[in-house]
Amino acid sequence: MTEKKPRDNQPRKPRIPTEERLVRQALHYLDRYASSTQNLRGVLERKVMRAAHAHERDPAEFAEMIDAVVAKCQRSGVVNDLTYAEIKLTSLRRKGQSERKIAAYLGAHGVDRDTIGKVLESDETDEIAAARTYARRRRLGPFRTSGNREEKRQRDLAALCRAGYPYGLARQVIDEELGDVADDDMGEAED
């Protein structure tokens, strides 16, 4: 009987990719994270790259396999850029993100411009409500709890502008009074 060697604390060498393994890896990833088609392709490419280099093979050998897996995920509906964009839009709007930030985020994650435009058109949240949400979360302008509002006005305006809101809208939100904002928000909630 041979004695087992103690395992070195070295990571296990990844297996050579097969279509079945890539499908399992894609489903495992999609089970944990929402993803666009392009993002899923990048995840699979990184996995293939790591395995191919470990076995001294060319990653380009597996390109067709990656395409097939991504296409299979699209056909089955587990990857859908429109659904992904709608989910992200809802999530980012809840955090008070501007249309510009949302469009940039979706674009960076591989969603095409037509889909981004379609999703933003269907958005029912207006920019001023999103800017107020952002200001409330960051405690800017009328939501500031400490310090002199006038001293911090320029800093608050800059924060809203960096978040992607136009200067005029940022000025309107920062210069509002808390009572006016609370009454306005309550009116929107009743509608």
Q: Is residue 9 a part of any domain in this protein?
A: no
Q: Is residue 11 a part of any domain in this protein?
A: no
DSSP letters for 100-147: HHHHHHHHHTT--HHHHHHHHHH----HHHHHHHHHHHHT-GGG--SS
User: How far apart are the two ends of the chain, measured CA to CA in Å?
Assistant: 78
Mean pLDDT along residues 157-171: 95
pLDDT band at 146 (very low <50, low <70, confident <90, very high): confident
pLDDT of residue 191: 35
Asked if residue 100 has pLDDT above 90, the reply is yes
Residue at which a domain ends, from 91, 122, 153: 122
Tokens at residue 51, please? 């395995």
Check whether residue 111 and residue 143 sit in a common domain: no
Q: Is residue 165 a part of any domain in this protein?
A: yes
Q: Is residue 35 a part of any domain in this protein?
A: yes
pLDDT band at 181 (very low <50, low <70, confident <90, very high): low
Check whether residue 66 and residue 87 sit in a common domain: no
pLDDT band at 187 (very low <50, low <70, confident <90, very high): very low
Check whether residue 110 and residue 146 sit in a common domain: no
Q: Is residue 7 a part of any domain in this protein?
A: no
Check whether residue 141 and residue 182 sit in a common domain: yes
Which of 4-13, 47-56, 86-95, 118-127 is predicted least confidently?
A: 4-13
Tens digits of per-residue pLDDT, 51-65?
888 888 888 888 999
Tens digits of per-residue pLDDT, 14-52?
888 888 999 999 999 999 999 999 999 999 999 999 888
Q: Is residue 62 a part of any domain in this protein?
A: yes
Residue 131 to residues 29, 144, 146: CA-CA distances in angstroms?
33, 14, 20
Q: Is residue 12 a part of any domain in this protein?
A: no
Check whether residue 92 and residue 140 sit in a common domain: no
Please name the amino acid found at residue 47.
Answer: K
**How many domains does the chain fold into?**
3
**Structural domain harbouring 23:** 19-76
Check whether residue 116 and residue 132 sit in a common domain: no
Mean pLDDT of the chain: 87
